[in-house]
Amino acid sequence: MTNKELMMRAIELSKESVRNGGGPFGAVIARNGEIIAEGSNNVTIECDPTAHAEVSTIRKACRKLGSFDLSGCEIFTSCEPCPMCLGAIYWAHLDKIYYGNDRKDAAAIGFDDDFIYQELDLKPAERQKPSEILLREEALEAFRMWQEKEDKTEY
């Protein structure tokens, strides 16, 4: 499939999602023009705030390929990824992102991801969600264990 055909599939998935009670977002992961996985936004359907189209599609692609590394694959998504999805895309090592709508288009219909992008630029103490370090020394033990583990699978 061409890039335009793959993007059209992501857009169609976003429309199907709206018709089925989900959010207006769809995504496709492909390798060499072949669809590996596809999905749509199921936040309200599954009562899961992480069930965005991109995250759901990454999960499906990883299961299908039996790997957490999606190098060699590209993602086609109907809208510019939110910060969570962008993070997942980087963690999955996808090679390239294609998107239809941008975050301003999403904000115009009530999906204002820009707020989170702005929060990320702030120091933790300045963010709207309070956070504090608690039991750091105890938590560092797992990091020491990881660092010393010789048979770990790095990612």
Per-residue pLDDT tens for 8-61? 999 999 999 999 999 999 999 999 999 999 999 999 999 999 999 999 999 999
Question: From the candidates 12, 16, 46, 54, which is the catalytic residue?
Answer: 54
38 is annotated as an active-site residue: no
Q: Which residue has the higher pLDDT, 112 or 37?
A: 37
Directed axis angle between helix 53-65 and helix 3-19, to 10°? 120
* Average pLDDT of the residues in 107-130: 91
- Residue 155 binned pLDDT confidence (cut-offs 50, 70, 90): confident
Task: Evaluate the CA torsion angle 131, 135, 138, 144 in order and state its sign.
Answer: positive
Q: Given this model, what pLDDT does residue 31 score?
A: 98
